[in-house]
Structure 1
Amino acid sequence: MSGTVLVTSRSFGSGGFDAEAALTAEGYRVVRAGAAHDLGELAPLLADADGWIAGTGPVTAAHLDLAPRLRGIARYGVGVDNIDLAAAAARGIPVTNTPGANSTAVAEHTIALLLTALRGIPAADRRVRVGDWSGRSARELSALTVGVVGLGRIGRLVIERLRAFGATVIGADPWVDAADPIFDAVERADAESLATRCDVVTLHAPGGQTVIDERWLAADDRPVLLVNTARADLVDEEAVARAARRGRVAAYAADTLAKENAGDSASPLLAADLADRVVVTAHLGAQTREGVDGMGRMAVADMVALLTGSAPAHPVRA
């Protein structure tokens, strides 16, 4: 066996499992490149790539046109909305992902962000550092009603943890049948109704849709805490910023933003006047040792299968 595998995931092999060594042991040369998937940077590397272990950056038809030897793409993570699956299928390039590998990590990060925003921890830390030891009243999670949008692996793990805190939980997912056992544990509702019923709403749905928009936010004036560890396009960030300023959004905590570069084009949620109500982390949800190792093992195994003509364990259908 021989060939070249391009790796563009930031955390590939950064846990306890040496994913790069595992590929090398199978006879493959590993080439690393930036996670942004810049076409200029990747052009010469894609020309020689037999396999591609891709992170969160876009994988477009233009990328695939630069990769005449490519025999498979292993998405290092779960979501594949960054990959043009139709373009890959048209070129006969199979795609895999790593379902479940980082679900626990993301669920735990969701709870961490929720509690951080609920108790105003970043703002409290900033006050202490300038000598202000004044307190601020907060709410207890056990007293709140939490809406969970998206009842896949991560959403269900989040529900388990919310119920352990004693929160009242409502679940929304149009693709989950009403007879699903999850609704023995939580009330079933639609995402629209959560606008008037919930103190907290946490998002775990696929991208490609907007759940929290101007209309959703205008349905009530009660303060709501929003958490997003899924996809940036699930929220209208301009609408959320406006709602935060008028008090409709008590806090927003996220692991992703639509505009993740600094400067004039930065997300409106990063405005200085919202600093005490907005908490953002840089795609840290999956970044635990266990999550990274799980993704690494699955991506390597599927990549080897793709390059040797075997059936991968986790194929993604276009």
Structure 2
Amino acid sequence: ITDPLAPEGLRLLEEKGFEPRVLAGKEEADFGDLLSRAVGWIVRSGTRVEEQDLNQAPRLRVIGRAGVGLDNIDTDAAAARGIAVVNTPEANSLAVAEHTVGLMLALARHLPFADRDLRAGNWDRSRWVGVEVAGKTAGIIGMGKIGSLVKDRLSAFGMKILVTDPFLEKEGRDFRLVPLETLLCQADFISIHVPLTPDTRRLLTRKEINLMKPGAYLINVSRGGIIDETALAEALQAGKLAGAAVDVFCEEPLPEQAALRQAPRCLLTPHLGASTREAKLRVSTEICARVVEILQQSPVP
């Protein structure tokens, strides 16, 4: 186990007769020795599982990704070796949806920026006049579990909902299904909820960002690499967008010289979407249960 995991999951592994070994990462000295003997490997988003790692793991039967995305795992290399790859696609959905809504409201009312200004000794109420979200149009890119939870919460605020998703065939009673270009042109707030795949990588480049309404807001709590971060920073610098909130980045940790660090009206969080006590508990127990299930079905050499 090379990323943090709640102790409830570790206890489940022990109760089923397995010996969980927790490392701070692949850099630990005994990682190679443990990997050569491991039958299961559990990671979160902080560990990259690469082909050269799997070449050192002759007994490995399952890789468990505690969370949603599989972009940090070489799934092709795992499949070629008969190694199962499992994840917990819904365990942290509520936490991510709530984080998304929190970021949206914080942007609409300038909360982090007003806080910093006040702490700097200022009292400038007129500078931080915000907007109400009621009656505004929210665009949701990707209508999976998280996107659906976000849609429900924004609908409760009285927002009009536009959705773009290639896998949806018809719209619902509380949202309109539209092409991406239409969503970009019409939405006041846009939130991204798609996995990182070859089709979604750089989904929003300078061209797409330029299609957004002047004064719109952009929120990304899905995966880094979906937005062109340099183009987003330029749009904020130019005043094209009213604000942006980003929780995931092309490179994590975010480099000190990253363009978004210097962008105005840009709220940044260090990949906290799934970081609640409740989500961590669900993810830990669910991924350990799935790993146990695979290992009990597959004979271990």
Do they fold alike, i.e. is TM over 0.5?
yes
The counterpart of 1:307, out of the listed 286, 295, 301, is 295
> Could you tell me which amino acid in structure 1 is paired with residue 33 of structure 2?
P
Aligned partners of 2:188 and 2:213 also within 8 Å? no
Amino acid at match of 1:143: G
For 1:196, the equivalent position in structure 2 comes to 185
Task: Quote the residue 2:265 is aligned against.
Answer: 277
- 1:286 and 2:274 correspond: yes
Q: How does 1:1-318 map to 2 (within 5 A)?
A: 7-10=1-4, 12-13=5-6, 18-34=8-24, 37-38=26-27, 42-56=31-45, 57-135=47-125, 136-178=128-170, 183-208=172-197, 209=200, 210-220=202-212, 222-261=214-253, 263=255, 266-271=257-262, 274=263, 276-309=264-297
TM-score norm. by structure 1 comes to 0.87
Q: Report the TM-score, using the length of structure 2 for normalisation.
A: 0.91
Give 5+ residue unaligned stretches, structure 1. 1-6, 312-318
Report deviation, 1:172: 0.6
Q: CA 1:150–1:310 in 2, change beyond 3 Å: closer, same or farther?
A: same
Q: 1:27 to 1:121 in 2, by over 3 A?
A: same
Distance 1:186 1:62, change over 3 A: same
SS at match of 1:253: strand
Q: Give the C-alpha shift of residue 183 in structure 1.
A: 2.2
Q: Distance in 2 between matches of 1:58 and 1:192?
A: 34
Residue 206 to residue 40, structure 1, CA distance change in 2 (3 Å): farther
Percent sequence identity over aligned pairs: 35
Q: 1:3 is matched with which residue?
A: none
Partners of 1:104 and 1:293 in 2: how far apart? 13
Q: Distance in 1 between matches of 2:187 and 2:247?
A: 21
Report the 3-state secondary structure (helix = DSSP H, G, I; strand = E; otherwise coil) of the residue aligned with 2:104.
helix
Task: Give distance in 2, aligned partners of 1:153 and 1:255.
Answer: 18
Letter in 1 for 2:151: I
Indicate the larger mover: 82-91 or 21-30: 21-30
5+ residue gaps, structure 2: none
Q: How many residues align?
A: 293
| 8 Å contact from structure 1 (residues 260, 267) kept in 2 | no
